[in-house]
Chains A and B, each alone.
Chain A
Amino acid sequence: MSSAPDTGAAVRSAPANLPRRRFVNILLGTGLLASAASFLYPILRYLVPPKLPDLGGDAVLAARLSEMKPNTAKTFRFGTRPGLLVETAAGEYRAMSATCTHLGCTVQYRPDLREIWCACHNGMYDLNGRNISGPPPRPLEAFEVQVRGDEIFVRRKQEA
């Protein structure tokens, strides 16, 4: 630190230094303003909400009531993996992971068999996701279904 004593008495700088002092002032002012702008810019952009409000997380809009019929199913995006929403013949909704537990193919609903089927090696699951025939070693992960108005939401089963 420079050890300039506080004399209190203002010593006028020689007029010859004036343009240099002005330059420094302008330099400082510009620097301060510009750097402040470079800090403010990201903050202002941050405050603007992005276009996708959906977190792509656990609660996902799988389908609308109007597009589902009894004994049909719909594959939907659950996070980044596929999910299967089934409306049973009785009108109940079931949702589960659509990734077969054998080798990872995407399963589908068979309205003729009223079961879930994997085309890759003929694996079969029942409507609760339990593996009932063929190669699959484990059941499909079951999800929770919530119907709000016309919208059918699917979310991971909540921890107890």
Chain B
Amino acid sequence: MIKVRDSAPYRSGATIVVAIVVAAWLICSGLIAFAQTKNSCLDCHSNLPEPLGVSVETYGQNIHAQKGLTCAACHGGDANSDDPEKAMSRAAGWKGKIERKQIPELCASCHADAERMKKYNPSLRVDQFQQYKTSVHGMKWAKGDNKVAVCTDCHGVHDLRAPSDPRSKVHPINIATTCSRCHADAEYMKPYGIKTDQFANYEQSVHHDAMVVRGDLSAPTCTTCHGNHGATPPGVANVTNVCSNCHVFQAQLFQTSPHKDAFAAMGFPGCVTCHSNHAIKPPTDEMIGTGPKAVCMNCHTAGDAGSMQAEAMHTQLTNLASAIAASDEILSRAERQGMEVSQPKLQQTQARDALLKARVAVHAFRDSGLKQDTDAGLATTKLTYAAGQKAMQEWRFRRVGLGLSLVLIALTLVGLGFYIRNLEQK
């Protein structure tokens, strides 16, 4: 008979194990429940059609949801209750659909509260509402205009994502499209009497090309120049300041140029006068001078002091540009023919740098300002062109040399042939 061991110690041991397991399960599910805050609103509203419907996927992308906030955070009510009567009761603070004009203050109730925002992201700004009140949108809103943009028009509402998310309506790549939803709508903007061609113009610009086509997120979009929450078009006198944040040299030169005072006196908007505000096309050398595409002739008359300077500058630029092109041509010809010209080709970048500098120097609007840069550029192109010529000469030399040595070899072969014949005819 096998002795059965006393099971008492095992019974108490087993109990302890079971207790630990159950406790762990409770704690874990409690933790999970805490993280997945119950949001009863979504249980019904995810099955409703528009405009009452908000899908689980959409709300899941919302940054507020990801931080643990429920519908009740904005709409009030009780998100824990599954009973619609209790969930959407005034007693529970339910607000229902939020009126447009209430939105800025609703958002500001958290986002302007530094203490509250610190809990989520201490480095977030809390002055958006303050800024908004200084903006054209904000000022009109304060007067009761219901058509102007409020927070949700730009940021989205239920699908509101962080601005750094490329799918966010306020991600740099998408900002211009977001603004254009109103500002390119002629019907919508009729009461305000401002143009609606800004987005169409911006799409032609070099900044749009940099941002949307080349993906350079540092390129300017609407908010870069106009501000985001405090959106106001820069005043005519301030345009140069805005552009100078990136285009430092051009602005500095402009300030020393005769145009500064002249433009101020005539109320011209600085950089925008020649470059336009939204349709900033890639500038060409044809913009300067007295030619058909030259912007100078919009104000200057042919033969006046200004147009003479303009013509001189144009000549300097085109001289350097054609010198660079000539060197490029001869170098690529030499390379196609098998010559090693990698060194002068890379030297050409110095000439291109000089041309770039000269084009910037134009903003001083004196032809003497370009001289240093164009001279440096022409010195470089002289060297690179000479290198190209040398390469072509070398190419010819090699073929002549080859021809000569082949002739001598042929001569020797003929000599050898005859010599052998003579030798063996004995």
Chain A residues with a Cβ under 8 A of chain B: 2, 4, 10-13, 21, 24-25, 27-32, 34-35, 38-39, 56, 79-82, 102, 104-106, 119-122, 134-135, 137
- A31–B411 touching, CB < 8 Å: yes
What per-residue 1/0 map shows which CB atoms of B390-426 lie under 8 Å from chain A?
A: 0000000000000011001101111110111110111
The residues of A that contact B347 with a CB separation of less than 8 Å are 80
Residue among A25, A56, A82, A122 facing the most chain B CB atoms (10 A cut-off): A122
Which of B242-250, B259-267, B330-338 faces chain A?
B242-250
How far does the alpha carbon of A104 sit from the alpha carbon of B248 in the complex, in Å? 17
Closest Cβ of chain B to A102, distance in Å, is 7
The residues of B that contact A79 with a CB separation of less than 8 Å are 346
Q: List 29 A-B contacts (CB under 8 A).
A: A2-B424, A11-B426, A12-B426, A21-B422, A24-B419, A24-B422, A25-B419, A27-B411, A28-B415, A28-B416, A28-B418, A31-B411, A32-B412, A34-B411, A35-B405, A35-B409, A38-B405, A38-B408, A79-B346, A80-B342, A80-B346, A81-B346, A81-B349, A82-B350, A102-B216, A104-B349, A105-B356, A120-B356, A137-B216
The residues of A that contact B43 with a CB separation of less than 8 Å are none
With A38-B408, A135-B216, A137-B216 given, can you name 12 additional A-B contacts, CB distance below 8 Å?
A28-B412, A29-B415, A31-B412, A31-B414, A35-B405, A35-B412, A56-B343, A80-B342, A81-B349, A82-B350, A134-B218, A134-B246
- A13–B425 touching, CB < 8 Å: yes
Chain B residues with a Cβ under 8 A of chain A: 216, 218-219, 245-249, 342-343, 346-347, 349-350, 353, 356, 360, 404-405, 408-409, 411-416, 418-422, 424-426
The residues of A that contact B411 with a CB separation of less than 8 Å are 27, 30-31, 34-35
- A80–B248 touching, CB < 8 Å: no
The residues of A that contact B353 with a CB separation of less than 8 Å are 105-106
Closest Cβ of chain A to B343, distance in Å, is 6
Q: A35-B405, A134-B218, A135-B218 are in contact. Are A27 and B415 (CB under 8 A)?
A: yes
- B424–A4 touching, CB < 8 Å: yes
Of A4, A24, A31, A122, which one neighbours B246 at CB under 8 angstroms? A122
Q: A119-B248, A135-B218 are in contact. Are A27 and B414 (CB under 8 A)?
A: yes
Q: Please list the 8 inter-chain residue pairs (A to B) with the smallest Cβ-Cβ separation, ordered nearest first.
A: A28-B415, A31-B412, A80-B346, A135-B218, A4-B424, A31-B411, A35-B408, A27-B415
- B415–A31 touching, CB < 8 Å: yes
Residue among B349, B360, B414, B415 facing the most chain A CB atoms (10 A cut-off): B415
Closest Cβ of chain A to B357, distance in Å, is 8
The residues of A that contact B349 with a CB separation of less than 8 Å are 80-81, 104
The residues of B that contact A32 with a CB separation of less than 8 Å are 412, 415
The residues of B that contact A104 with a CB separation of less than 8 Å are 349
- A13–B419 touching, CB < 8 Å: no
How far does the alpha carbon of A123 sit from the alpha carbon of B416 in the complex, in Å? 73
- A13–B426 touching, CB < 8 Å: yes
- A122–B248 touching, CB < 8 Å: yes
Q: A34-B408, A38-B405, A80-B343 are in contact. Are A24 and B248 (CB under 8 A)?
A: no
Closest Cβ of chain A to B249, distance in Å, is 5
The residues of B that contact A102 with a CB separation of less than 8 Å are 216, 218
Least CB separation from A17: chain B residue: B422
The residues of B that contact A29 with a CB separation of less than 8 Å are 415
The residues of A that contact B415 with a CB separation of less than 8 Å are 24, 27-32
How far does the alpha carbon of A34 sit from the alpha carbon of B404 in the complex, in Å? 10
Q: A4-B424, A27-B411, A56-B343 are in contact. Are A135 and B246 (CB under 8 A)?
A: yes
The residues of B that contact A121 with a CB separation of less than 8 Å are 218, 246-247
Least CB separation from A80: chain B residue: B346
Least CB separation from A28: chain B residue: B415
How far does the alpha carbon of A27 sit from the alpha carbon of B346 in the complex, in Å? 50
- B414–A122 touching, CB < 8 Å: no
- B418–A119 touching, CB < 8 Å: no
How far does the alpha carbon of A135 sit from the alpha carbon of B408 in the complex, in Å? 63
How far does the alpha carbon of A121 sit from the alpha carbon of B207 in the complex, in Å? 12
Residue among B353, B412, B422 facing the most chain A CB atoms (10 A cut-off): B412
The residues of A that contact B342 with a CB separation of less than 8 Å are 80
- B422–A38 touching, CB < 8 Å: no
How far does the alpha carbon of A120 sit from the alpha carbon of B422 in the complex, in Å? 79
Least CB separation from A104: chain B residue: B349
Closest Cβ of chain B to A132, distance in Å, is 13
The residues of A that contact B356 with a CB separation of less than 8 Å are 105, 120
Closest Cβ of chain B to A17, distance in Å, is 8
Closest Cβ of chain B to A80, distance in Å, is 3
Least CB separation from B342: chain A residue: A80
Closest Cβ of chain B to A19, distance in Å, is 12
The residues of B that contact A27 with a CB separation of less than 8 Å are 411, 414-415, 418
How far does the alpha carbon of A110 sit from the alpha carbon of B299 in the complex, in Å? 38
- A122–B245 touching, CB < 8 Å: yes
- B418–A10 touching, CB < 8 Å: no
How far does the alpha carbon of A4 sit from the alpha carbon of B421 in the complex, in Å? 9
- B419–A28 touching, CB < 8 Å: yes
How far does the alpha carbon of A151 sit from the alpha carbon of B347 in the complex, in Å? 25
How far does the alpha carbon of A118 sit from the alpha carbon of B347 in the complex, in Å? 20
